[in-house]
Amino acid sequence: MPAKIIDGKKVAEKFLNEVNKKIKESKEKPGLAIVLAGNNPASEIYVNFKEKKAKEVGLYFERYNLEENVSQNELLKLIDNLNQSRKIHGMIVQLPLPKHIDEKLVVDAILPHKDADGFTPVNLGNLVNDDNRLVPATARACLELIKSTGEKIEGKNTVVVGRSTIVGKPVALLLLQENATVTICHSKTKNLAEFTKNADILVVAVGKPKLIKKDMVKKGAIVIDVGINKTPSGIIGDVDFENVKEVAGYITPVPGGVGPMTIAMLLDNTLNAMEMGRGFLR
């Protein structure tokens, strides 16, 4: 029996409706700023989606488009201004940045309570300590999509393929909080299929088109595909969707799976950031 498709757009809409409801009930309007530096077409499309959804749910929104040759000091000055702004509660600096910019330095410059992406060392450290204040949005999206299946997470064998600080590591930590048994695989893992075939829950985030084949997936597994790979035939994931869906129990499509949910988590993070920041900007 083919897998049930996890509709990221549908699940995301439920969260966005809740965000919209909270904003309407709030005495203060949450503000989100997005900084886009350079001429990355994919980033431009993604930021457009974020802006569209932010305005739909009622956030105050500011967008800054910077040239490819923007200096690091100019970018850091803008971040400092947004850190001090009373209108802005959450901030996103769209990655990747131009090659001459130090990404770590830029991310570190964002005040932790305004970090809508959840990428600052403080927020990642909070996650390690089971303090989920502002969780990396894509990792949070993966967990919520898994939960949307209604399947139990506790005690399940879970494999995360990928170890980035944006997705892999945070997803692993979130699943540990849910009492799953977690294995992290990466580019140096030998015999990857031996691990993935035993996973009740499989999260793949490596950026390699169709890396995960049908014979690498356990029958009935939940498969979350975070990959976004451009090919001549369109955007595809890290999972061989058409074949893997024949054995998986649940699977996310690409596009239409993790992407829409990530945006919903970013906007919800902005709401959480407003709550966190109330004591800082009085």
- Range with lowest mean pLDDT among 14-18, 114-118, 205-209, 227-231: 227-231
Mean pLDDT of all residues belonging to the chain: 95
Question: If we measure between CA atoms, which residue out of 252, 237, 236, 243 comes closest to residue 147?
Answer: 252
Average pLDDT (213-223) is 98
Model's pTM, two decimal places? Answer: 0.94
Query: Is 94 annotated as catalytic?
Result: yes
CB of 59 closer than 8 Å to CB of 23: yes
Lowest mean pLDDT among 36-45, 87-96, 113-122: 36-45
Catalytic residue among 94, 156, 225, 240: 94
Catalytic residue selected from 53, 114, 115, 117: 117
Unique residue bearing structure tokens 């994919």: 42
Q: How much is the pLDDT for 281?
A: 45
Predicted confidence band of residue 42 (pLDDT cuts 50, 70, 90): confident
CA–CA separation, 31 and 218 (whole Å):
43
d(CA 62, CA 225): 31
Given 50, 114, 218, 245, the catalytic residue:
50
* Three-class SS state of 191: coil
- What average pLDDT score do residues 14-36 get? 95
**In the annotation, is 21 catalytic?**
no
Among 278, 2, 277, smallest CA distance to 116 is for 277
Range 171-182 average pLDDT: 98
Overall average pLDDT of the 243-254 stretch: 98
Per-residue pLDDT reduced to its tens digit, 114-172: 999 999 999 999 999 999 989 999 999 999 999 999 999 999 999 999 999 999 999 99
Residue 73: CB atoms within 10 Å:
8
Instruction: Kindly tell me if the per-residue pLDDT of 113 is higher than 80.
Output: yes
CB 60 within 8 A of CB 73: no
The per-type count for the chain, helices as H runs and strands as E runs, is 10, 11
Active site residue 117: yes
User: With 50 as the cut, is the pLDDT of residue 23 above it?
Assistant: yes
pLDDT of 279 reads 56
Upper half-sphere CA count for residue 132 (Cβ side, 13 Å): 17
Q: What is the pLDDT of residue 282?
A: 41
